A and B are shown apart, each in its own frame.
Chain A
Amino acid sequence: MTPPDDAPGRERRILGLPPGTWPRILAPLVVGLLLLGGWEWAVRHFAVPAYILPGPVAIARTLVADWPTLSGSLAVTLRITVLALLVATAAGLALSILFSQSKWVEMTFLPYAVMLQVTPVVAIAPLIIIWVDNIQASLLICAWIVAFFPVVSNTTIGLNSTDRNLLDLFRLYGATRWQTLVHLRLPAAMPFFLAGLRISGGLSLIGAIVAEFVAGAGGASSGLAYRILESGYQLQIPRMFAALALISFSGVLIFLALSLVSHLMLRRWHESALRKDH
């Protein structure tokens, strides 16, 4: 009986990160800088007016100058996004557990979940905004509708694809339904759930923005999407880009945060969280 040859040893690190990680950070960064540089150069060289295409420097200046307004809008949008993600996660998890407990429940309600997913939120957002008095609540509902499906569908697949032998083992030892759920099905579904969560994180931001656009067209909102609309009306194109940049950054940040959560929860056991080279 020899010890496994993939036992973790001391690894070489550069600035706290394993050497293999650096290209993954640096390569996109270099491309990004080149792109921004090229953009700035082109805007200056061809003397493009700022109301058509502002350069990155102008956008950055606007971002700093308008930060008081923009940061307020960012907070509004992020609040809706995070709330929608939380509600989508809780509701999605609960629904998929319900589905996994009874084939009948799944057969009956899954089509409606799918229907909710495939209907474009832009099309139903005006209705929701009319029906729900509270504008925050209606934005939340729109974002939630977009965000909850990946959690439901992924977690349901995860709960249903539990190792059959392990299920037999639990049956052999007379495990209750609850024990089987908590000790076997939920942990086994965890990688699926986390993959769904990462998609839902991005979608809840998209849902929040779309809902704000619809609501903002009626003048009743203060999030980043509303700033974009407003800037468009006022031909404040640099501010439009600044708001857009904030949205993109938020999206990337949400994705990274959820990836980190996923990595931390799976790193000890799941293939997806393991580095390939040994």
Chain B
Amino acid sequence: MTGRPGSAETAGVQEDGTIAASGHTAPSREDSTGPAPVVALRGVTKRYGNGTLAVQGLDLDITTGSFVSLLGPSGCGKSTVLRMVAGLSPLTAGGIAWPRAAGRPPKLGFVFQEPTLMPWKTAIDNVALPLRLEGVAKAERHRRAREMLDLVGLSDFANSYPRELSGGMRMRVSIARALVTEPEVLLLDEPFAALDEITRFRLNNDLLRLWESRRFTAVFVTHSVFESVYLSQRVVVMAANPGRLHADLPIAAPARRDEAFRTSPDYAALCRTVSEALERAMKA
């Protein structure tokens, strides 16, 4: 769990040790250089009712506007971390702070592993759901939902039901729904795992394009080394039993990521570095 040659990284669990009591904590390890993190996790621990320690003592700062991947073997608690950040799962110990919004969580978007659409609603009504729950008037929420559908390339399918759409299209609807409230932070829980490779590559590119144009902070959970390197500016490798932070690798890659990058030697080298870190995490 120490530094490795060849990766300009910081290793493992920071030992600055401040475990926040709960919620509203200022980040204790303020970077002198970068902007304030959008979210700061301190000593985040999750123990399930059956005694399983899913996550233990996780410290993590996520820079505003960055694209971070949580990578790890199954059972390392990466999805649990995401659910805790989303407020969908209570913490057993530790704290999650949102320094930029006076401690309160900003608007969040969440993309699940499955498209998780309401089958009785058309694509546009599915996308408009978060606005409807906020009480936005029908005309306005449909206008904004249509805008999002255009953005994910589904303008022609606004009135289709989920069952009439392919797996990739459903996932696009799901992403459009997550972005329709213009969230500051987009949380994605292995959204493309169930898709075929061609569709996955295309959605990877589309997600990057959306991220570049709308500048939300993206936290992306995946078990694919290739996907994490392709998408992120930083890959956080987690180890299992108990789930914990193992390595924190910045991905120095060109600003423009496209098919040329996917086939470049740089990409291959980065994948190897991350892959090795993952392998060590699985032995750790």
Asked if A7 is at the interface of the complex by the 8 Å CB criterion, the answer is yes
Cβ A183 vs Cβ B153 within 8 A: no
Asked if B134 is at the interface of the complex by the 8 Å CB criterion, the answer is yes
- Contact residue among B86, B114, B154, B164 (Cβ-Cβ distance under 8 Å from A172): B86
List A1-26 residues whose CB lies under 8 Å from chain B: 1-4, 6-7
C-alpha gap A166/B134 in the complex (Å): 16
- Contact residue among A4, A187, A274 (Cβ-Cβ distance under 8 Å from B166): A4
- B104-144 CB mask vs A (1 if < 8 Å, else 0) is 00001010101010111000000001101110000000000
CB distance from B105 to the nearest CB of A (A): 10
- Contact residue among A163, A173, A271 (Cβ-Cβ distance under 8 Å from B130): A173
List B141-175 residues whose CB lies under 8 Å from chain A: 153-154, 156, 160-166, 168-169
Residues of chain B contacted by A170 (CB below 8 angstroms): 133
C-alpha gap A190/B120 in the complex (Å): 10
Cβ A1 vs Cβ B133 within 8 A: no
Cβ B166 vs Cβ A174 within 8 A: no
Cβ B161 vs Cβ A1 within 8 A: no
Residues of chain B contacted by A172 (CB below 8 angstroms): 86-88, 108, 110
Residues of chain B contacted by A7 (CB below 8 angstroms): 164
Cβ B116 vs Cβ A169 within 8 A: yes
Residue on B with the closest CB to A7? B164
Cβ A165 vs Cβ B169 within 8 A: no
C-alpha gap A168/B130 in the complex (Å): 12
Residues of B within 8 A of A (CB-CB), count? 31
Asked if A61 is at the interface of the complex by the 8 Å CB criterion, the answer is no
Residue on B with the closest CB to A171? B88
C-alpha gap A163/B168 in the complex (Å): 20
Residue on B with the closest CB to A169? B116
Asked if A233 is at the interface of the complex by the 8 Å CB criterion, the answer is no
C-alpha gap A150/B4 in the complex (Å): 65
Cβ B116 vs Cβ A165 within 8 A: yes
Cβ A269 vs Cβ B165 within 8 A: no
- Contact residue among B88, B163, B169 (Cβ-Cβ distance under 8 Å from A269): B163
Residues of chain B contacted by A274 (CB below 8 angstroms): 163
Cβ B162 vs Cβ A168 within 8 A: no
Residues of chain B contacted by A2 (CB below 8 angstroms): 166
Given contacts A172-B88, A175-B133, A187-B118, is CB(A4)–CB(B108) below 8 Å? no
- Contact residue among A3, A4, A270 (Cβ-Cβ distance under 8 Å from B119): A270
- Contact residue among A4, A169, A187, A190 (Cβ-Cβ distance under 8 Å from B164): A4
C-alpha gap A170/B133 in the complex (Å): 8
Residues of chain A contacted by B166 (CB below 8 angstroms): 1-2, 4
Residues of chain B contacted by A270 (CB below 8 angstroms): 119-120
Cβ B133 vs Cβ A174 within 8 A: yes
CB distance from A4 to the nearest CB of B (A): 5
C-alpha gap A188/B112 in the complex (Å): 19
- Contact residue among B87, B130, B169 (Cβ-Cβ distance under 8 Å from A1): B169
Asked if A246 is at the interface of the complex by the 8 Å CB criterion, the answer is no
- B165-199 CB mask vs A (1 if < 8 Å, else 0) is 11011000000000001000000000000000000
Residues of chain B contacted by A119 (CB below 8 angstroms): none
Asked if A179 is at the interface of the complex by the 8 Å CB criterion, the answer is yes
Cβ A269 vs Cβ B114 within 8 A: no
CB distance from A182 to the nearest CB of B (A): 11
Asked if A275 is at the interface of the complex by the 8 Å CB criterion, the answer is no
Residues of chain A contacted by B160 (CB below 8 angstroms): 4
Asked if A268 is at the interface of the complex by the 8 Å CB criterion, the answer is yes
Cβ A163 vs Cβ B116 within 8 A: yes
Residues of chain B contacted by A169 (CB below 8 angstroms): 110, 112, 116, 129
C-alpha gap A175/B130 in the complex (Å): 9
Given contacts A165-B112, A268-B120, is CB(A173)–CB(B134) below 8 Å? yes
CB distance from A250 to the nearest CB of B (A): 32
C-alpha gap A7/B112 in the complex (Å): 26
Residues of chain A contacted by B132 (CB below 8 angstroms): 183
Given contacts A270-B120, A274-B163, 10 further A-B contacts (CB under 8 A): A4-B164, A4-B166, A168-B112, A170-B133, A172-B87, A173-B181, A175-B133, A183-B118, A190-B120, A268-B161
The 4 lowest CB-CB distance pairs between A and B, nearest first, are A165-B116, A269-B119, A173-B133, A269-B120
9 contacting pairs across A/B (C-beta < 8 A): A4-B169, A165-B112, A165-B114, A165-B116, A166-B116, A166-B118, A171-B88, A175-B133, A269-B161
